[in-house]
C-alpha cells in the first residue's frame, strides 16, 4: 500500500540537526513483521507507526520500532510522531493537550513555548545499581570510579542505566568500550553538570546503546532525559527547570527542556518535518 510518510527532526532548533524519526501514517493493516522490516530499511534509531486508538481516552495509537524490535516507549519518537499527526490534520479531543496510546500506556503531550512536551511516564525500574553492575558500567565507560557520583536504574521502557559523572567535561571526554557495552547488554545514559555561568546548557548528556538497536551512540534521547530528570530532581541534584544538551560529540545540536510542575515532569524540544511524501510498503 501507499502510505503517507514523514521524517521529523527532533530536539534541535537549528542550525545543527537533532535526532530523526521516520513516521508512517495510516499504518492499519501492517503486521509486526511489516513494521520491523520497514524499520530495518529506514535504518534510523526508531520508526513509528500511527494507528487509530484503542483507548477511548487517546487521540491515536503509536507503535515504535528499532531495527532490532519494538519499544514500549521512546521520547523523540513520541514528540516527532505527535508533530507529524498534528501536521497531517489530527485534531485532539482536548484543545490544550493530546494523548498518545503506546505499549507503555497513555502519554500526555502539550504545546509549550513553541515546542511539544510529553509528560514523563513512570519509571518501571528505579533503584541503585548493585556493585557488579556499577563496576561493569565503569569498565564499559573506561573512566575512573572517582569520576562517578552515582549509578541508578532509571528505566521507563528502553532499559536505561543512569550514570552521573562529576562534570559535563567528563561526559564529553568519554571514549567508551562499545564492544563491552554490547557484551553486557547495557544501555548507559550518562550525565554531568556544567559549572560555568556562560555554559551552553545546565547538563551534558550522552547515550550509549550498543550496536543492536541502531547507532551505538544515540544523538538526542527523550526517554533517557525523562528518566534522568525524575532521578536528579527527586534527589535534589537538579532544579525544577533546566536544559540538557546532547549530541555534541556527534555534531548534533540537541537541546532538551525539562520542567517539573505539580509533581509532573515534562520533556520538550523542537520538532520540524524534513522529509514528507509517500512510501510504498
CA–CA separation, 259 vs 119, rounded Å? Answer: 10
- Please identify which of the residues 46, 101, 204, 217 carries the catalytic annotation: 46
Omega before 261 within 30 of 0, i.e. cis: no
- Answer yes or no: are the C-beta atoms of 72 and 102 closer than 8 Å: yes
Helix or strand or coil: residue 85?
A: helix
- Is there a catalytic annotation at residue 197? no
Query: What's the number of CA atoms in the CB half-sphere (13 Å) around residue 270?
Result: 18
- The DSSP secondary-structure symbol of 17 reads -
- Answer yes or no: are the C-beta atoms of 66 and 21 closer than 8 Å: no
Residue 106 cell numbers, joined = 497513555
pTM: 0.94
Q: What is the pLDDT along the chain (281 residues), one digit of tens a residue?
A: 999 999 999 999 989 999 999 999 999 999 999 999 999 999 999 999 999 999 999 999 999 999 999 999 999 999 999 999 999 999 999 988 999 999 999 999 999 989 999 999 999 999 999 999 999 999 999 999 999 999 999 999 889 999 999 999 999 999 999 999 999 999 999 999 999 888 999 999 999 987 655 569 999 999 999 999 999 999 999 999 999 999 999 999 999 999 999 999 999 999 999 999 999 99
Amino acid at each position: 500500500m501507499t502510505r503517507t510518510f514523514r521524517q521529523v527532526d527532533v530536539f534541535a532548533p537549528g542550525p545543527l540537526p537533532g535526532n530523526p524519526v521516520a513516521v508512517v501514517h495510516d499504518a492499519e493493516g501492517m503486521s509486526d513483521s511489516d513494521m520491523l522490516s520497514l524499520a530495518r530499511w529506514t535504518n534510523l534509531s526508531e520508526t513509528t507507526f500511527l494507528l487509530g486508538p484503542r483507548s477511548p481516552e487517546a487521540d491515536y495509537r503509536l507503535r515504535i520500532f528499532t531495527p532490532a524490535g519494538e519499544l514500549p516507549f521512546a521520547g523523540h519518537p513520541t514528540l516527532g510522531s505527535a508533530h507529524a499527526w498534528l501536521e497531517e490534520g489530527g485534531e485532539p479531543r482536548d484543545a490544550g493537550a493530546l494523548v498518545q496510546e503506546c505499549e507503555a500506556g497513555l502519554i500526555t503531550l502539550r504545546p509549550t513555548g513553541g515546542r511539544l512536551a510529553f509528560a514523563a511516564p513512570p519509571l518501571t525500574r528505579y533503584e541503585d545499581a548493585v556493585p557488579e553492575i556499577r563496576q561493569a558500567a565503569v569498565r564499559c565507560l573506561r573512566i575512573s570510579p572517582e569520576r562517578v557520583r552515582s549509578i541508578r536504574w532509571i528505566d521507563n521502557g528502553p532499559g536505561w542505566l543512569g550514570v552521573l559523572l562529576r562534570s559535563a567535561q567528563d561526559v564529553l571526554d568519554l571514549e567508551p568500550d562499545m564492544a563491552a557495552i554490547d557484551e553486557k547488554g547495557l544501555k548507559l545514559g550518562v550525565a554531568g553538570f556544567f559549572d560555568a555561568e556562560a555554559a551552553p546548557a545546565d547538563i551534558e548528556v550522552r547515550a550509549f546503546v550498543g550496536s543492536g538497536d541502531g547507532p551505538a551512540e544515540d544523538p538526542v534521547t527523550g526517554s533517557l532525559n525523562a528518566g534522568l530528570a525524575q532521578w536528579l530532581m527527586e534527589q535534589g541534584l537538579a532544579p525544577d527547570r533546566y536544559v540538557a544538551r546532547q549530541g555534541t560529540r556527534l555534531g548534533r545540536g540537541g537541546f532538551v527542556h525539562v520542567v517539573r510542575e505539580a509533581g509532573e515532569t515534562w520533556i520538550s524540544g523542537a520538532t520540524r518535518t524534513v522529509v514528507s511524501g509517500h512510501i510504498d510498503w
